[in-house]
Structure formats: structure tokens, C-alpha cells
Structure 1
Amino acid sequence: TYGSDVFTHAMAGGSVTDWTLYDSHYTERFMGTPADNAAGYKSSSVLNHIDKYKGNLQIVHGIIDENVHLQNTIQLTSKLQDAKKDFEMMIYSGGRHGWGGNKGAHFQNLKTKYIYKHLLEKEVPAGMLR
């Protein structure tokens, strides 16, 4: 959203959308506290730039992500819906902040299909998907 004049497509996986929702020990090391840097927290939250959103966005999140809580994605999708913005979304049941096995293969295929469909505008070559 903030770089909407530069980027036309994006894939966001387990993304922080509001730094007040992230681990304070990590965040405050770089940004200070929300009380001391309210403007920094506000400007760095994608939630405050939804009006600039254009293009195509794929959102992916693991439902039990303990690193970046699902609340980040829920707040983002709510704001996008309220602003009548289109997006694609995939939630991985049992998924944490990254996944392997069948879900990992599904995620790789999802990304590949997105790139071919939206950026390359052609079919995925036979045998490329896992």
C-alpha cells in the first residue's frame, strides 16, 4: 500500500501489519515504545495505508502462527473488505510461521500459480507443480 506507485503485485505470508501486535522485545529495540514513537508505529502500519492499495495481493497465513499472530491478517483483510479492495487469501490449518510436508508443497504450488497467472499471464508448465 505504501509503495503502491512502485509495486503492482504482492504475496504476503505471515506478515506483520501492525507493529503493536508483534513481540515488544524485538519491535521496541528498533522502534522504541508505542508511547514514545506513536508516529512511527502509525506510519509503519499497512492498516493506515489501505486507501493507497491497488493492484493484486495474495495473503497467506498459518492459523496457529506464534510468531506473527493471525490477528495481523484478520485486521488487514477487514480493512481491505471495508475499503472494497480485492485480494486472494489462503489460511493453513495447523500452520505456524512456515510449514513443510503437504502444506509446504501446497504453498509452493500456490505461489507458482500466482506468479504465472498474474505476472507471466500464462499457464504453469507441465511438471512444474509439486
Structure 2
Amino acid sequence: MRGTLSTQLAKLMKAHKVSQNALSRATGVSQPTINRILCNVTLHPRRDSLVRIANFFGVTPDSMYEPTLKKTDNNAAISLDELYEKISSLSDADRSALFSRVSKEFKDVRPLNHRRRD
């Protein structure tokens, strides 16, 4: 199974019809680095490389690690960035109602990989 970063990068490259070489030339990230990301050899590339790749595609670096959410009704995919944009466009009252509903639904859920920050 492919990792999230490699999957997201492959999807973006396919959607934008960009080859590894073209992405390398456009971002300044070496082609071997791009290949290692796609092949899951490099799971956590240098931050500056990830930022350059994300900027090229117009997404946030963090979204490169996020899985795509799927709608069950028509199998259309929506990224977390798109979901955030949709929530941001809600009125304050609607956003508050949504937050209350989600908070109630997930009140007992603990975050994964919860780390204490000192």
C-alpha cells in the first residue's frame, strides 16, 4: 500500500499532467528526490523541498500528508483543504452549529499520536 505523501504527490502530478523531470525543473527539487518520495523511499522529505512542491501545486505542505476524504454517494473525492474552504465560507451561525454538532459527535475521541508538548 502506498503512503499518503506518495499517493498525494502522484495524484497531483497526474491531475496537472506533470512528469518527475518537469516538476524537478519547476521546483528545484531534484528528480531523484521526487522519485524517492513517489516510491516511498523518502517518507519525510526536507521541509523546504516539500514547501516548493506544495507551492507548485497550490496546496499546503501539510495537505500532502493528509488522506483524501471520499463522499459515499457519488465517489467524488474532496481534500481536507477543500473541506476547510467550504467550512470557512459558512456564516458564523452555521459554522458554530457545525462545530457544536461535530464536537458532540467526537467528544470521546482522542487524537492519534498524541504527544505532550513541554
Would the TM-score normalized by the shorter structure come out above 0.5?
no
TM-score normalised per structure 2: 0.27
> Which of the two has greater strand per residue?
1
Which structure has the higher relative contact order (CA within 8 Å, separation 6+)?
A: 1
> Which of the two has greater helix per residue?
2
